[in-house]
Structure 1
Amino acid sequence: MKRSSRARIGAAATVSVLSLALITGCGGGSDDDSKESGASKESGASSSPSTTTAAKALSAAELKKLFLAKGELAGYEVDTAGDDTLPKSKSEVKTDKAACAPLAHAMAGLAPGDTDASASYTVTKKPKATASSDEASLEDALDVELNFVGLSSYDGDGAERAVKTVSDAVTACAGGFTITAQGEKQKITEVAAGKPSGKGDESVAFSVGSDMDGEGKATFDTEVVRVGNTVSTYYTVNFASLDGGKAAPVPTALVDAQLAKLK
């Protein structure tokens, strides 16, 4: 990465993470966004039979009790207060294609399905010790891994339908879509199915390519996992990986640690 490019990315990373609210793709849509249209393995999904027909949704307060706590994931800092730059509700942001809203919601720690029971928090990988040279120090400063974790809960088979809307959207939105948040528009240029972890009762993984205002494309990974009637979402950003369009993978250790609290 050229030093000038690093400087630009570093600047974006330090302004109260305000730019992150856009590049994370935090999006929204209408209540019709949960309509379904056929999921498949090809859209990055893995699943097991339903066990949630009579399930009752947990409240947002109950979901917060399932957050990871400080010290429960080695090498990571947990902030249960969440990130103030991200939207608190779906009404704060819009997508130009309703079918794509579940993807934007999953990336923003919002519920990808139709429920009011949701909560989110952030998990940051502890940075490496800063090296002595200016070049190495800049490299270390950019190597910050941010993870946005969302939990949502549903009555009946709502969690399964929520995961299906994500799976459907991966296919329907392959050509991209536009997000409007905080008065700014962000262009998602492409959506591709990822390899799901196979964790929980079912999981979906996808990546999005985002236009960086003429400075190239950045790629971001997201995973959605269902355990019973609770859906967890994981969205990962690392500024050091933005150059060249490389995505930072969702940490397996984070998914495992969170799912352990949902079982």
Structure 2
Amino acid sequence: MKRSSGARLCATAAVGALSLALITGCSSDSDKGSSDEKGAKGASDTKSSAPAAAAVGSAELEKLLLVDGDVKGFKVEKADDSLPADKSAVKVDKAECEPLAYALSALPPGDSDALARTTVAEDKAASMETASPEDLENVDMQDMLDMDVVLVGLSSYEGDGAQKAVKGVSDAVAACGGGLSMTSEGETQKLTKVTSAKGTPAGDESTAFSVLTEVEGSPLTVQVEVVRTGGTVATFYAVNLAAMSTGGKAEVPPAVIEAQAAKLK
């Protein structure tokens, strides 16, 4: 048996690389059932408009990020340094698709430079601590890699900038269904399909989408959710490492979204 803690560290480190090879990947031809089956509301689930907001800086956003202990069953790690540092490091072949590429990098999807990011990974190590010796003997690395890893990004906006950021993502989903190409850190990736998805109701408004790509010849679907609370926008980008090697999909665990949204109220 391989140590599950090692798998988790591998997972969190991989998110940076995934944001290059996953930043571009994914699809949502089925988000655990079709959009209709899940009652998808299209690209955006919007509540009443919030009062004009005042932006906060990156240092304040860091204090609002999830930390260890906020989400049961998950570990929180510092975001990988290989992630694009800012928007200038991400190039997209279609300008209207830029908000999608930024959300996949946990960068601000709207007009803001205030940014904070972290990685939340399913804690396989904790579940193994209560497993029987017989169960442990049957655990292999594939089991360890079958975990959800979520890249969380926070950005802050003045006035109605946060609302515009969410709308920008929704508009981009509608405009970029046929896919896009993006380049980050010298790596170019092709996202072959973008589809609106059913997200987790949270914050003042939210939108979700899935993207389809290929990793080493296997189709991979990843999901992104964008949630606005007041003048702050949280982006959540989920991958599953087992799905990367076998072909599959990942959805953002609702518990992660709910915990982050609660800290932003």
TM range (shorter): 0.7 to 0.9
Q: CA deviation at 1:156?
A: 0.5
Could you tell me how far apart the structure 2 residues matched to 1:101 and 1:260 are? 28
Taking a change above 3 Å as real, the CA distance of residues 63 and 16 of structure 1, as seen in their structure-2 partners, is closer
Taking a change above 3 Å as real, the CA distance of residues 16 and 76 of structure 1, as seen in their structure-2 partners, is closer
Contact 1:131 / 1:140 at 8 angstroms: preserved in 2? no
- Aligned position for 1:188: 191
Superposed CA offset, 1:35-78 (max 9, x none): xxxxxx8642100121233x210111111110112212111111
2:111 is the counterpart of 1:114:
yes
2:58 is the counterpart of 1:60:
yes
Contact 2:90 / 2:101 at 8 angstroms: preserved in 1? no
Between the two structures, name the one with larger relative contact order (CA 8 Å, sep ≥ 6): 2
Q: CA deviation at 1:198?
A: 2.2
Could you tell me how far apart the structure 1 residues matched to 2:161 and 2:247 are? 34
Q: Which stretch shows the higher mean deviation, 58-67 or 119-128?
A: 119-128
For residue 264 of structure 2, give the secondary structure of its aligned residue in structure 1.
coil
Superposed CA offset, 1:227-258 (max 9, x none): 11110011111111235643211011111111
The 5-angstrom pairing of residues 239-258 of structure 1 reads: 239-242=241-244, 245-258=247-260
The 5-angstrom pairing of residues 1-263 of structure 1 reads: 17=14, 19-25=17-23, 43-53=42-52, 55-79=53-77, 81-127=78-124, 128-129=127-128, 131-133=136-138, 136-213=139-216, 215-242=217-244, 245-263=247-265
Amino acid at match of 1:157: D
- Aligned position for 2:29: none
Contact 2:90 / 2:102 at 8 angstroms: preserved in 1? no
Contact 1:26 / 1:93 at 8 angstroms: preserved in 2? no
What number of residue pairs does the alignment pair up?
A: 234
Q: CA RMSD in A?
A: 2.2
Taking a change above 3 Å as real, the CA distance of residues 244 and 14 of structure 1, as seen in their structure-2 partners, is closer
Q: CA deviation at 1:92?
A: 1.0
- Aligned position for 1:32: none
Superposed CA offset, 1:163-203 (max 9, x none): 00000010100000001111111100000000122211110
Amino acid at match of 1:203: S
- Aligned position for 2:3: none
Taking a change above 3 Å as real, the CA distance of residues 217 and 160 of structure 1, as seen in their structure-2 partners, is same
Superposed CA offset, 1:86-137 (max 9, x none): 111111121111111111111111100001111111111111538324xx41
Contact 2:181 / 2:188 at 8 angstroms: preserved in 1? yes
TM-score by length of 2: 0.82
Contact 1:224 / 1:233 at 8 angstroms: preserved in 2? yes
For residue 192 of structure 2, give the secondary structure of its aligned residue in structure 1.
strand
The sequence identity of aligned pairs, in percent, is: 45
Contact 2:45 / 2:207 at 8 angstroms: preserved in 1? yes
Which runs of 5 or more structure 2 residues have no equivalent in the other structure?
1-6, 26-39, 129-134
Contact 1:43 / 1:171 at 8 angstroms: preserved in 2? no
- Aligned position for 1:6: none
Could you tell me how far apart the structure 2 residues matched to 1:178 and 1:149 are? 22
